[in-house]
């Protein structure tokens, strides 16, 4: 596909290698009373081709901690594999479930120390007995920030205004889920690298519940 | 000290606002074209509901690639059509009755695109031209940004060349009815929506048959069924899974 090469410096520039698979994506985490709802689209793209249209970008790190993956699919899969292993170890060593903060900071260490070779933007979110619901955003260079709500990935740029205006503290689980789906649908409508279906996971002390939505609350506009 | 010479010539070297695939198929009574109505700005879906199939006289032109170049080409073709109808260019003994057919337009576009390419300033498009040929039979042809022309019974530009052409080759017959041709094109457009990052499910059809040339209003494809399989619904991110896709 020679056109792909000549477009490398055009309106679409990515720092992925030729043919590398990207989760060019939209991922979100929104807290509610007693937990967090994380959501993601399902499009995995190689350049302009949709490699997988129903991917699962929400990876479970431990019982009540999930990570949303954006950036290089290979890099983020490798990172979640490491973190799962470390959290299992921690659980054995301490006898307690891992904290969301531990998962996030472990991930930060990995991303920061390998920043030259990785392309990964992730959101670590979940519930732990110490802090309750918590959301951490780990950006490309390894910056780890604890945030009230998080959104990341190529599609997130299109919904910054929407989330800034619609986010409220202390929502219910259903309100948070609805907002997650609405924001994702809007991002998927405008970002070519996001699309497909919406997966959400609501994480609470009692358990996690996954949802799959193919009827998007917002679709291609007709104006 | 004189300033360094600044090149005064501009060249289109990279497309900015683009349209994706256009599909065309010849059926028993005419030609059908299909394209979605999305313009992209890199990876951003910049404008939805934008027609990429246009009627010029008795021909439909569909374009993928840089939209501004398409708009310029339409300007040129409209000016040419006006010139044809308002000037008598040759002695009436030698003038053809039919005026510009789709085949004429296709040849004219070839000259236009090839001459721009030869100046290293191409019209960054792949165009489909549909209508009638010089003998009155259904005509479908393409012209690309370097001036290559192809005439065939089914053509697809952009991603369609990779994803839709195999389906069109498999299913095409010379006696396709309009309904079958439309169903085939819609099926191809669905596949393109699933697999092309720059595609949208809002599409537009154009038909050239029985001396009439029509472009439909944009409408949305029904893609709901394609997301329902159990294999898709399953999550693969849980602890017992491999954390894969």
**Which tens digit of pLDDT belongs to each residue from B93-139?**
545 554 789 999 999 999 999 999 999 999 999 999 999 999 999 99
Whether A217 contacts chain B with CB within 8 A: no
pLDDT at B127: 98
Q: What is the mean pLDDT of chain B?
A: 90
Give percent of chain A above pLDDT 90: 81
Q: Which of the four pLDDT bands, split at 50, 70 and 90, describes residue B245?
A: low
B14/A10 Cβ within 8 A: yes
> Is residue A180's pLDDT more than 60?
yes
Q: Which residues of B touch A189 (CB under 8 A)?
A: 45
Q: What is the interface size between A and B, counted as CB pairs within 8 Å?
A: 112
Query: What is the structure's pLDDT at B239?
Result: 86
> In the predicted model, what is the mean pLDDT of residues B175-189?
97
Mean pLDDT across the stretch A126-135? Answer: 96
Question: In this complex, which of A10, A77, A192 lies closest to B45 when CB atoms are compared?
Answer: A192
Domains of chain A: 27-209 (3.60.20.10)
Q: How confident is the model at residue B84 (pLDDT cuts 50, 70, 90)?
A: confident
Count the alpha carbons within 13 Å of B131 in the hemisphere toward its beta carbon.
25
Chain A residues lying within 8 Å of B15, measured CB to CB: 7, 10
Confidence band (pLDDT; 50, 70, 90) for A4? very low
Q: Can you tell me the distance from the alpha carbon of B77 to that of B71, in angstroms, rounded to the nearest whole number?
A: 10
| pLDDT confidence bin for B163, thresholds 50/70/90 | very high
What is the mean predicted confidence (pLDDT) over B157-173?
97
Q: What is the pLDDT of residues A68-113, one digit of tens each?
A: 999 998 999 999 999 999 999 999 999 999 999 999 999 999 999 9
Question: Is pLDDT at B57 greater than 90 in this prediction?
Answer: no
CB atoms within 10 A of CB B166: 13
Nearest-angstrom CA–CA distance, B13 and B36: 25
**pLDDT confidence of A12, banded at 50, 70, 90?**
very low
Q: Place A220 in a pLDDT band, splitting at 50, 70 and 90.
A: confident
pLDDT of A131 > 60? The answer is yes
Residue A172 token pair? 């219910």
Residue B213 has pLDDT above 90, yes or no: yes
pLDDT band at A10 (very low <50, low <70, confident <90, very high): very low
Q: What's the rounded Cα separation, in Å, for the pair A174 and A37? A: 9
Among chain A residues, CA nearest to B44:
A191
Identify the residue whose tokens are 């170049």. Answer: B69
Residue of A nearest to B201 (CA): A220
Q: Which pair of structure tokens corresponds to residue A16?
A: 């992925």
Inter-chain contact B42–A12, Cβ cutoff 8 Å?
yes
pLDDT at A9: 36
Asked if the model's pLDDT at residue B193 lies above 50, the reply is yes
CB contact under 8 A, B196 and A49: yes
- Give how far B41 is from chain A: nearest CA, Å: 7
Q: Enter the tokens of residue B141.
A: 């042809």
- Would you say residue A52 has pLDDT above 80? yes
Per CB-CB distance under 8 Å, the chain B contacts of A50 are 194-197
- B226 or A15, higher pLDDT: B226
Structure confidence at residue B3 (pLDDT): 62
Ranges A59-63, A98-102, A113-117, B235-239: which has the least confidence:
B235-239
Q: A119 CB near a chain B CB, below 8 Å? A: no
Q: Are the C-beta atoms of B100 and B107 separated by less than 8 Å?
A: no
What are the tens digits of pLDDT across the range B197-207? 999 999 999 99
pLDDT at residue B112, as a whole number:
97
Query: Percent of chain B at pLDDT above 90?
Result: 76
Per the model's pLDDT, the better-predicted residue between B86 and A44 turns out to be: A44
- Nearest CA of chain A to the CA of B136: how many Å? 36
> Could you confirm whether B149 is annotated as catalytic?
no
Integer Cα distance of A3 and A60 in angstroms:
38
CA distance A94 to B191: 51
Confidence band, pLDDT 50/70/90 cuts, at residue B87? confident
User: Residue B1: what pLDDT?
Assistant: 60
CB contact under 8 A, B245 and A220: no
Nearest alpha carbon to residue A176 among A211, A128, A214: A211
- Shortest CA distance from B200: residue in chain A: A220
Q: How far is CA B41 from the centre of its chain?
A: 18
Res. A49: pLDDT tops 80 = yes
- Judge whether residue B219 has pLDDT over 90: yes
For chain B, list the domains and their CATH numbers.
17-238 (3.60.20.10)
Phi/psi of residue A15, each to 5°?
-95, 40
């Amino acid at each position: 596909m020679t056109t792909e090469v000549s477009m490398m410096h055009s309106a679409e520039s990515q720092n992925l290698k030729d043919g590398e698979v990207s989760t060019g994506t939209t991922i979100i985490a929104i807290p509610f009373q007693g937990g967090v709802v994380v959501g993601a689209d399902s499009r995995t793209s190689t350049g302009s081709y949709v490699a997988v249209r129903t991917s699962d970008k929400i990876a479970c790190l431990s019982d009540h901690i999930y990570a949303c993956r954006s950036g290089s699919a290979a890099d983020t899969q490798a990172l979640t594999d490491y973190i799962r292993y470390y959290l299992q170890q921690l659980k054995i060593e301490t006898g307690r479930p891992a904290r969301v903060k531990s998962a996030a900071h472990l991930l930060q260490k990995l991303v920061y120390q390998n920043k030259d070779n990785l392309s990964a933007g992730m959101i670590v979110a979940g519930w732990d007995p110490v802090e309750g619901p918590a959301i951490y955003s780990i950006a490309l260079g390894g910056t780890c920030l604890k945030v009230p709500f998080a959104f990341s990935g190529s599609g997130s740029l299109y919904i910054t205004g929407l989330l800034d205006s619609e986010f409220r503290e202390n929502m219910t689980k259903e309100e948070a889920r609805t907002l997650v789906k609405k924001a994702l649908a809007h991002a998927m409508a405008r970002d070519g690298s996001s699309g497909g279906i919406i997966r959400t996971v609501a994480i609470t002390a009692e358990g996690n519940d996954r949802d799959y939505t193919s009827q998007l609350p917002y679709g291609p506009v007709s104006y | 000290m004189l300033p360094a010479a600044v090149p005064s010539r501009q060249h289109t070297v990279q497309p900015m606002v683009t349209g994706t695939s256009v599909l065309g198929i010849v059926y028993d009574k005419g030609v059908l074209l299909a394209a979605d109505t999305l313009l992209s700005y890199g990876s951003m879906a910049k404008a939805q509901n934008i027609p990429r199939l246009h009627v010029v006289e008795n021909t439909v032109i569909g374009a993928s690639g840089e939209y501004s170049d398409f708009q310029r080409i339409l300007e040129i073709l409209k000016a040419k059509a006006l010139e044809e109808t308002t000037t008598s260019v040759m002695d009436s003994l030698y003038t053809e009755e039919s005026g510009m057919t789709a085949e004429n337009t296709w040849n004219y576009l070839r000259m236009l695109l090839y001459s721009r390419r030869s100046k290293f300033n191409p019209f960054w498009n792949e165009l489909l031209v549909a209508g009638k040929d010089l003998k009155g039979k259904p005509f479908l042809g393409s012209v690309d940004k370097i001036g290559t022309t192809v005439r065939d019974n089914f053509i697809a530009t952009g991603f369609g060349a990779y994803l839709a052409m195999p389906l069109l080759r498999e299913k095409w017959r010379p006696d396709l009815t309009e309904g079958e041709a439309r169903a085939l094109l819609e099926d191809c457009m669905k596949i393109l929506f699933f697999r092309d990052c720059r595609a949208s499910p809002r599409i537009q059809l154009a038909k050239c048959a029985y001396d009439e040339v029509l472009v439909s209003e944009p409408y949305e494809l029904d893609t709901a069924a394609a997301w329902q399989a159990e294999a898709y619904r399953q999550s693969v991110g849980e602890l017992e899974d491999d954390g894969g896709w």
